[in-house]
């Protein structure tokens, strides 16, 4: 058996999951996450099966501040549906077996709305005027504190204490590279799952392999609603 820990960058997973499978209720998203993780665990490493040590989920509590929106004025995030959804989602994960939540925090300094890259390009290219901006042209900007640090500490602990043989990381950026290097020096098999997200070629030298279980006709996708029959 290959003793395996699965580490999940929560913000990244939720964004990619919504992209592939649409919006879902908190309990449904938590169930979906568990099903996705177990796709990795159901795969064999040669003749060996993977045995789950624990699933580590990294995220931040939902934003509850009031932030000024250029089109809408002050937005109270605590009153938005997303705030309640996030709390419910984290509560659902706490109930799941062998799941450990590693929660950071959001920096209260510098929270603001900014133009999306696509909107900025259109304005610079003259394809859109400032007075034509819409709500979808803005996104809220904030900084997470403690998430990367917690992930790095866990990777190092799992490796140096010999707790696992393999680490599977579901993430999309390269912030994990220093910890991955340390883990691989201790003989840990380090697998990255970017969930279909493109990664730079030089990142491959810091991992032992890449796995993604995003595919066409995916059973995790919501079923399409049947088209109403035409009236006779």
23-71: per-residue pLDDT in tens? 999 999 999 999 999 999 998 887 889 999 999 999 999 988 888 888 8
- On average, the pLDDT of the chain sits at 88
- For helices 147-160 and 177-185, angle between their N-to-C axes, nearest 10 degrees: 0
- Phi-psi category of residue 184: left, alpha or beta, with phi > 0 → left and psi -120 to 50 → alpha: alpha
Superfamily holding 2-63+80-105+144-210: 5'-nuclease (3.40.50.1010)
CA nearest 150: which of 125, 175, 129, 173? 175
Is residue 164 predicted with pLDDT exceeding 60?
A: yes
C-alpha–C-alpha distance, residues 138 and 113, integer Å: 6
CA nearest 50: which of 58, 39, 42? 42
- Phi-psi category of residue 196: left, alpha or beta, with phi > 0 → left and psi -120 to 50 → alpha: left
CA nearest 111: which of 60, 41, 44, 49? 60
Is residue 218 predicted with pLDDT exceeding 80?
A: no
Question: Where in the chain are the domains?
Answer: 2-63+80-105+144-210
């Amino acid at each position: 058996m290959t003793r395996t820990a699965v580490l999940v960058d929560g913000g990244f997973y939720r964004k990619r999951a919504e992209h592939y499978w649409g919006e879902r209720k908190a309990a449904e998203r938590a169930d979906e996450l568990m099903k996705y993780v177990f796709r990795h665990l159901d795969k064999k490493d040669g003749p060996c099966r993977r045995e789950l040590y624990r699933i580590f989920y990294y995220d931040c509590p939902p934003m509850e501040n009031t932030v000024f929106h250029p089109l809408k004025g002050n937005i109270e995030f605590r009153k938005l549906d997303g705030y309640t959804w996030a709390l419910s989602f984290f509560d659902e994960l706490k109930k799941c077996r062998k799941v450990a939540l590693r929660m950071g925090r959001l920096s209260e300094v510098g929270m603001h709305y900014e133009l999306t890259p696509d909107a900025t390009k259109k304005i610079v290219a003259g394809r859109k005027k400032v007075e034509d901006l819409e709500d979808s042209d803005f996104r809220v900007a904030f900084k997470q504190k403690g998430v990367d640090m917690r992930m790095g500490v866990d990777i190092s602990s799992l490796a140096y204490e010999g707790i696992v043989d393999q680490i599977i990381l579901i993430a999309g950026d390269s912030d994990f590279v220093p910890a991955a290097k340390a883990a691989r020096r201790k003989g840990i098999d380090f697998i990255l799952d970017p969930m279909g997200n493109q990664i730079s070629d030089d990142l491959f030298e810091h991992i032992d392999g890449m796995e993604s279980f995003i595919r066409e006709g995916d059973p995790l996708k919501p079923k399409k609603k049947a088209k109403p029959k035409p009236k006779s």
